[in-house]
């Protein structure tokens, strides 16, 4: 993997990647980050001259789906490039070293790159019983997390677990699984929620930090605006059906076969901020709604405790999410909630009226 003092460019050249491919990668990256064509040369310059950023990737209570997503980033060049771009000095899931050897690497990286490394955290620490529900390297994960956070430049909270708590924090949360920002309060933290986050969003975040040496612009909940400023609903290809009041009423009904809107089947797209409807999954092949299932809102705080995934938005308290953070988001979600309820009501009245008309014609 090379050393952290090597530049990204020298590492990929050593791996046989051509200069042409390198520039293609830079253009692709600039586009995916929404930075415009001029940013490609800035990215190229930074990657040619700056030493690679050391990254420590730690795992708390989690299922490893974020790692699975990250290493499956669609474009093979992007995946390889990002893994070359950072100096992934420690990742207890994918590194060859284990046990004392792995712990020694952790210590060494911490001492050598004090204040310079990114701490990427997947999962969260359980605080109950002194942190005994997650033991890592012989000690509670929370201790290891605090120790490594102390000398980190910034922290990436990967996924719903590190960002919000996720299913292991579901009520009554017996282990007291706690999001990273409630435990580490003196470091910049970027939340990249989702269960898991989209691979291209993860690589995009890493690329930005590596290139510009700082975190991208965040919203009030700490999420990168470039990927989390729009709702699934805003760019959903089924939206014309929503606007036309054409809803799936039962799985596998005629409306489902026609690809109508899934709102009445519990789709949480109207209150979920994520890039699924634009970036999509598996290299842009599809996303849940395209496969016929509503969004379950996996990137929103508390999605696991908000009742059935198949309840309509009007039946659950979906707007608590933004109450303490993004007022703009709250206003938008509130407006959507009202609109959704109104729209559904209007559609129901129309349906009833047309049924009555039909009944009248037939009598
Ligand atoms: S409710 Fe769901 S399926 Fe319908 S338009 Fe919005 S995001 Fe798409
Ligand atoms: S469509 Fe919704 S539930 Fe599915 S991955 Fe995206 S945010 Fe999560």
ipTM: 0.85
Task: Please give the distance, rounded to the nearest whole angstrom, from the Cα atom of residue 183 to the centre of ligand 1.
Answer: 35
Instruction: Tell me the helix, strand and coil percentages in the chain, rounded to 5.
Output: 50, 15, 40
Residue 132 pLDDT greater than 90, yes or no: yes
Q: Which residues line ligand 2 (CB under 6 A)?
A: 194, 232, 272, 274, 276, 287-288, 295-299
The pLDDT confidence band at residue 74, using thresholds 50, 70 and 90, is: low
Q: pLDDT > 70: what percent of the chain?
A: 81
For 213, list phi and psi in degrees, rounded to 5: 65, 20
Domain 8-227: top CATH class: alpha beta
Of 9-18, 40-49, 308-317, least confident by mean pLDDT is 308-317
Assigned token pair, 216 = 């991208």
- Map out the domains of the chain as residue ranges: 8-227, 230-362
Q: 306 with 280: CB under 8 angstroms?
A: no
The whole-number pLDDT of residue 209 equals: 87
Report d(CA 192, CA 159) in Å as an integer.
Answer: 6
Pocket perturbation via mutation, ligand 2, pick of 288, 290, 294, 301 by most ligand atoms within 8 A of CB = 288
**Nearest alpha carbon, ligand 1 atom 1:** 263
pLDDT tens profile 196-253? 999 889 888 888 888 888 899 999 999 999 999 999 999 999 999 999 999 999 999 9
How confident is the model over 246-272, as pLDDT tens digits? Answer: 999 999 999 999 999 999 999 999 999
Tokens of 62: 């989690």
Domain 230-362: CATH superfamily is: Cytochrome-c3 hydrogenase, C-terminal domain (4.10.480.10)
The Å distance, Cα 356 to ligand 2 centre, comes to 38
- pLDDT at residue 357 greater than cutoff 60: no
Range with the largest mean pLDDT of 62-66, 270-274, 309-313, 331-335 = 270-274
Tokens of 247: 């809803």
65 is in an annotated binding site: no
Higher pLDDT, 330 or 267: 267
pLDDT at 94 over 90: no
pLDDT of 44 strictly over 90: no
Confidence of residue 82 (pLDDT cuts 50, 70, 90): low
What span, in angstroms and rounded, lies between the C-alpha atoms of 199 and 75? 10
């Amino acid at each position: 993997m090379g050393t952290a003092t090597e530049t990204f460019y020298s590492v990929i050249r050593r791996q046989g990647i051509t200069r042409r491919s390198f520039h293609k990668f830079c253009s692709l990256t600039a586009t995916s980050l929404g930075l415009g064509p001029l940013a490609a040369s800035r990215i190229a310059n930074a990657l040619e001259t700056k030493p690679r950023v050391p990254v420590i990737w730690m795992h708390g209570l989690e299922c490893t789906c974020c790692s699975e997503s990250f290493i499956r980033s669609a474009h093979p060049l992007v995946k390889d490039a990002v893994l070359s771009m950072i100096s992934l000095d420690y990742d207890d899931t994918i590194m060859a070293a284990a046990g004392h050897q792995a712990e020694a690497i952790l210590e060494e990286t911490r001492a050598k790159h004090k204040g310079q490394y990114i701490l990427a955290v997947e999962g969260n620490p359980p605080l109950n019983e002194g942190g005994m529900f997650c033991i890592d390297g012989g000690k509670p994960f929370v201790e290891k997390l605090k120790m490594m956070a102390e000398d980190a430049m910034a922290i990436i909270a990967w996924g719903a677990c590190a960002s919000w708590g996720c299913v292991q924090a579901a009520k009554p949360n017996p282990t007291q699984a706690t999001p990273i920002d409630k435990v580490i309060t003196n470091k910049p933290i970027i939340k990249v929620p989702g269960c898991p986050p989209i691979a291209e969003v993860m690589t995009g975040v890493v690329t930005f930090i590596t290139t510009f040496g700082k975190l991208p612009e965040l919203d009030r909940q700490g999420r990168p605006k470039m990927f989390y400023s729009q709702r699934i609903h805003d760019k959903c290809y089924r939206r014309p059906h929503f606007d036309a009041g054409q809803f799936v009423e039962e799985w596998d009904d005629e409306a489902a076969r026609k690809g109508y809107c899934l709102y009445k089947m519990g789709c949480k797209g109207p209150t979920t901020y994520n890039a699924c409807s634009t970036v999509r999954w598996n290299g842009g092949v599809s996303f849940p709604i395209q496969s016929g299932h509503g969004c379950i809102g996996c990137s929103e705080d508390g999605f696991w405790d908000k009742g059935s995934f198949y309840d309509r938005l009007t039946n659950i308290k979906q707007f608590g999410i933004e109450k303490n953070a993004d007022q703009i988001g709250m206003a938008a979600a509130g407006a959507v909630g009202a609109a959704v309820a109104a729209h559904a009501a209007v559609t129901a009245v129309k349906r009833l009226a047309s049924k009555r008309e039909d009944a009248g014609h037939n009598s």
